[in-house]
Structure 1
């Protein structure tokens, strides 16, 4: 009996460390860039959001404004459902965003306006979604869609590293 209680306690303690998978419903009130936005939830609270598992071009990179406009077309003033995956160092909720049943994060990749952010996706994203995001990026690359029209687009994480402190 002691062992059974110990196992139950350990399993419960491990689950407490898992990131929250809360769901939030609301309306998008601002699109900041190709992978961040603000919603107002049903309790009239505002939430700063960062789209999980993708990375869109930074403001001064090619296709940054197109990425923001594409996200805006999908979500601005629309009712959305947010699956919270984590939070970042800026206190934004890191989320998968849905309009109806459409995964908007993957739509940014499909349209060629974001990279699949493999570094953060590994181990956090389901293997099926990981493979789907990879496939969507590969299709956009091969089709030279969006930012993939550039001969060698610079990933935002490399751009940030090169411009750190500027």
Structure 2
């Protein structure tokens, strides 16, 4: 019975339509996070789906933020929300000026990793920048942001 219920819940979640909104990018938080105001006046924090950029305190973190700023800040955008992260931010695909996907440029410039389960299309951009040793791929063994975040949280003293 549990297996049937789990299958049903997965089917319903997968069948839920993505939410698409039009609006403007008003702030860049880091290489893969931005603030978006919809045409309805609602403000969202958007995390770009399928990629993860270095943290701002990591090598290439600021470069990734600047790249996203050049690509998207103060520009019209279409946001297709795919879900929410554990902090409630929207995970979405963003098309700037109706045609530019900033994730592709971040990957081409070697300023992002793809996340597991990402489409082959996005993965091919990462592999190409890796083979050309662009951006963070200049380093022999760059630290992925998820590893960096885990290391940082382990260094933070636990409150008693």
Normalised by the size of structure 1, how large is the TM-score?
0.82
| Equivalent residues in 2 for 1:16-27, closer than 5 Å | 16-18=12-14, 19-27=16-24
Q: Which runs of 5+ in 1 are unaligned?
A: 1-11
State the match for 1:145 in structure 2: 134
CA distance in 2, matches of 1:51, 1:14: 23
State the match for 2:144 in structure 1: 155
Normalised by the size of structure 2, how large is the TM-score?
0.85
| Equivalent residues in 2 for 1:114-153, closer than 5 Å | 114-118=112-116, 122=117, 130-153=119-142
- Out of 36, 46, 50, the residue aligned to residue 47 of structure 2 is 50
| Equivalent residues in 2 for 1:57-136, closer than 5 Å | 57-99=54-96, 100-118=98-116, 122=117, 130-136=119-125
Deviating above 6 A after TM superposition, structure 1's stretches of 4 or more consecutive aligned residues are none
Change (3 A) 1:151 1:81: same
State the match for 1:28 in structure 2: 25
Tell me by how many angstroms 1:96 deviates. 0.7
State the match for 1:38 in structure 2: 35
Tell me by how many angstroms 1:20 deviates. 4.1
Q: Is the 8 A contact 1:20 1:86 kept in 2?
A: no
CA distance in 2, matches of 1:145, 1:74: 18
Q: Is 1:164 matched up with 2:153?
A: yes
Q: Is the 8 A contact 1:96 1:104 kept in 2?
A: no
* Secondary structure class of the residue paired with 1:102: coil
Q: Which runs of 5+ in 2 are unaligned?
A: 1-7
Tell me by how many angstroms 1:14 deviates. 6.2
**CA deviations over 1:118-137 (Å, ceiling 9, x no partner):** 1xxx2xx5xxxx11111110
